[in-house]
Amino acid sequence: MSKIILVTGASSGFGKAIATKFAAGGWNVILTARRKEKLDELAKALESTYGIKTLSLTFDVQDKKAVFDNLQNLPTEWQAIHILVNNAGLALGRDSFENANLEDWETMIDTNVKGLLYASKAVLPMLIKEKGHIINIGSTAGKEVYKDGNVYCASKHAVDAISKAQRIDLLPYQIKVTAIHPGAADTEFSVVRFKGDAEKAKSVYTGYTPLMAEDIADTVWYVANTPAHVCINDLVITCTAQANSMYLQK
């Protein structure tokens, strides 16, 4: 029987690439995101291309009730979850602290921090049973704070801390926990951050070759397929042109 991976924020970017990578490897995939049309389109493509099974769940990880209603009431055949990828996350705006929008702050905290906690807590009994693996998608913004990054950086620092805490607290259950911290990557991320301004988003990646979503999917696949006695706890990945959140050679 194929193993099961659950990917939050699976409708685009890292999440879509991760789901595709694991489907290609023969895994059955639980896809979650807010956009039903995109989820259904991806599910159909994965099933027809790779011959695996998918389960699509449409909800926002900010919604605690929706997270628990969906993830604690999975069909029996979908409850043996081996890997949870907490990928759902976003940045909104890039404003100095005094000019930042409070609603943007709340959305980032509710998605990047609370959403990760809700999904982890809801799936944890299944992961304990399977001696599973939690993979949290963080950011280089969780390693250094940069100008106008304020609450986005804070939320990703929280992902870093939560990942370390999960690794410690879940050690008795033989659960692996890995935090992957990507740098600049060409996905919908910047379009969301700049609230639909495609030109401004595109300019972020001008003059160098950024990471692609498939690079992160390859990394997730690697850390998920190490021997049972090996756990990669923390991994920072950038393109060659980037040293960290603040140093980029164009």
Question: Any idea which residue has 């909800």 for tokens?
Answer: 59
AA letter at 197: D
Is 247 catalytic? The answer is no
CA distance 15 to 88: 8
Distance CA 157, CA 13 (A): 21
Helix (H) or strand (E) holding 119: helix 116-130
Q: What is the DSSP string of 189-219?
A: HHHHHTTT-HHHHHHTTTTS--B-HHHHHHH
In sequence order, the 6+-apart residues with CB closer than 8 A to the CB of 206 are 250
State how far the Cα of 4 lies from the Cα of 181, in Å rounded to an integer. Answer: 23
- Rounded Cα distance between 62 and 34, Å, is 10
Catalytic residue among 50, 152, 205, 222: 152
Catalytic residues, which ones?
152
